[in-house]
A and B are shown apart, each in its own frame.
Chain A
Amino acid sequence: SYELTQPPSLSVSPGQTVTITCSGDKLGDQYASWYQQRPGQSPVLLIFQDSKRPSGVPERFSGSNSGDTATLTISGTQPMDEADYYCQARDRTNFIVFGGGTKLAVL
């Protein structure tokens, strides 16, 4: 089965830039999406089609996808960005897969 691998945790200082990676076999051949989940809340769409932001998502969130790795970059990280982040894609058999999630601490 297809798997997406994310680092379990990352930390960043306020105002700095952090990149969260999502790795999968030929992931760049599929579109990747990213979600933010704050404690006790449901996931919220951050990025779709690799790099597009839904309305209302701050510009400091950006995405890219190439080769085997999709990335979510948060520029000028704010304390409110402390959350879990999940990548998601569709595999070649049309089944949907989520990454294991990355817990981001803003210290």
Chain B
Amino acid sequence: QVQLQESGPGLVKPSETLSLTCRVSGDSVSSASYYWSWIRQPPGKGLEWIGYIYYSGTTNYNPSLKSRVTISVDKSKNEFSLSLTSVTAADTAVYYCASRVRGTGGVWFDPWGPGTLVTVSS
């Protein structure tokens, strides 16, 4: 059973880069069975899909964030990462990593990590 755990700074200054890591346990980040995903939730608001990466390096990003987002995989550490540049207060959110099973018939995310709150403030 895959388990996920986010980590990274809880406070980032405006205009700087937000960097988070998701540690994968219970399976390999090199598995062909999953897409590794990031999703965020501003305080008191709904969920927003950020993007995902396949072990081969193929990525797919939310068009509204695409110019600022990079998702990468580190196979040696069995983790994947999120980088979001030029952050503003609007990027303040709980950031979740989640796995998506690869296959036909729709998209769903399971499981999710516990989430990590990132606040953008000077």
Using a CB–CB distance below 8 Å, which chain A residues touch chain B?
A: 1, 30-33, 35, 42-45, 48-50, 54, 86, 88-90, 94-101
CB-CB under 8 A from A32, the residues of chain B are: 106
CB-CB under 8 A from B114, the residues of chain A are: 42
Count of chain B residues near A, Cβ 8 A:
21
A42 to B22, CA, bound (A): 15
A99 to B48, CA, bound (A): 9
CB-CB under 8 A from B48, the residues of chain A are: 98
5 closest Cβ pairs, A-B complex? A31-B106, A48-B108, A45-B110, A33-B108, A96-B49
Kindly report which residue of chain A lies nearest to residue B47, judged by CB atoms: A98
CB-CB under 8 A from B62, the residues of chain A are: 95-96
Identify A48's interface contact among B47, B106, B112, CB under 8 A: B106
A58 to B106, CA, bound (A): 22
| Contact of B60 with A by CB under 8 A | yes
Residues A42 and B115 in contact in the complex (CB < 8 Å), given A31-B107, A48-B106, A96-B49:
yes
Q: Which of chain B's residues 37-51 have a Cβ closer than 8 Å to chain A?
A: 39, 46-49
| Contact of B105 with A by CB under 8 A | yes
A74 to chain B, nearest CB (A): 19
